[in-house]
Structures are given as structure tokens and as C-alpha cells.
Amino acid sequence: MGELDIVVPVREGAANEQLRYALRSWAVNLPHRRVWLVGGRPPWADGVEHIPTRQAGRTKYRNTTAAMRAVCEHPDVSDTFLYCNDDFFVMRRLESMPVFHRGPVREVEAYYATRGNGSYLRGLRETRDLLVGLGHEDPLSYELHVPLPIRKNGMFHALEVGGHLDVLHKRTAYGVLAGIGGERMADVKVLDRGPRFDTTGTYLSTMPDSFTNGMVGRHIRESFRRPGPYERGRR
């Protein structure tokens, strides 16, 4: 576990306080070798590796697909790495990162179908149809807001197979095509400002508003008050 790199796609131009506290949480609780920011890099970030990428895709999903391809092609990123977003917080000490899935895609689709019919749901359905067409009749979803261990060659294959989709669900395509299995868990994303989140759990994730103005954001900031090794001017 200690030899794995952490890879994080980062949008350009944002101050990104969520990333600051995510990095603090990983430094304390998620053993790793190096951190790679892919895309943007906030001016306060220090001690991290950086892979600049052009963020000119029609959607953020195209941008993260380009970022993931750059990671898979980079010789210095560990062959197996932990794929994170900038709003993933590890709240308890881990010695190794388990593999988790969210259950069958059909159940995740039913949940999102009640919330609208945007590009995320369209991408879910297109990714599902792609996998079913390849013989995976009831594929699992890996679209969770927790770190996911990924092997470069497996992800590169998933990008080759599904890269034509505008909104490829990369974690799901990778997890199903590589047959990684894993343990089922409920997603940990906290969408609102209220107290409905597990203060004793190992993982949390936030929306920008729930992090800035919500009780979950306050809980995370209080848990990681001290600047970590990835911040310029830390004391």
C-alpha cells in the first residue's frame, strides 16, 4: 500500500479548499508514495507531482478521461495507483485500501432516474449498454466517492473500449472489464448542509456547498486543522 501513488484530477483555476483538506486526510490516514495532481494545480500546493493537461473537452467528463489517459501513459506513476477526487476524505487510518462497489448499475440507474435525466444518467446508461454488449449482463457500478485502486493497463483498456462515449463512467468500465469484484457499500457523498452523515465512518465526500457551509464541512475542517505536507507555507 505504501508504494501506491494517489492520482487526483483537478480543475484549473480553483482555490480548491476541498482538495487542501482531502490532502491533509490522505497524509494522515491513507499510506501512499506520491500524490499526482492532473490538470490544474492550486498555487498553495507543495510537494506534489503535477501532470498538466488541456481542459478543452466539451464536458468535464471528457477532461477527466483525458487526464486518466495521461496518467496511464506516464512512466513515473505507479503501475497500480489510488484514483481519488479532490473531495474524497479519509477520516480513519487505513493500512490498505479495499475495493468497493455500489451494487448493480441497474439499481444505481433507478436512483438517479428519480433525480432527473442529465448527462451523468445518460453516461451511466451508455456505459451500462456498452458493458452489456460485451457480455457483462448485470454489471456492477464503481461510481463511489471513495478511493479506488486501479491498474494502469486495465484502465487503459477501459479507455480504449469506452473512450468514444461523451460521459464514460470510467470507474465502472474499469472495474467491470478488469473483474475487480469488491465489497458493496453505500455512497458517502453528503449533498446538503444538515447533520445526516456518519461522524464515525472511514470515508466522507462533499459538495462545494456542503463543504463550505454545511455541518459535514465543519466536521472535516475540525478533524484536520493542522497544515499537511502538501501545503506551501505550512508551519
CA–CA gap between residue 208 and residue 118 (Å, rounded): 19
pLDDT digit string, tens, across residues 82-108: 999 999 999 999 999 999 999 999 999
33 Cβ contact list (under 8 Å, min separation 6): 2, 3, 4, 5, 78
Among candidate residues 89, 112, 80, 111, the one with its CA nearest the CA of residue 27: 89
Span 128-184, pLDDT tens digits? 999 999 999 999 999 999 999 999 999 999 999 998 998 999 999 999 999 999 999
CA distances from 118 to 109, 115, 122, 123 (A): 12, 9, 6, 9
CB-based burial label for 178 (10 Å; 0-12, 13-18, 19+): middle
Cell readout for 127 is: 456505459
Q: Are 33 and 62 in contact (CB under 8 A)?
A: no
Q: Taking the model in full, what pTM does it have? A: 0.94
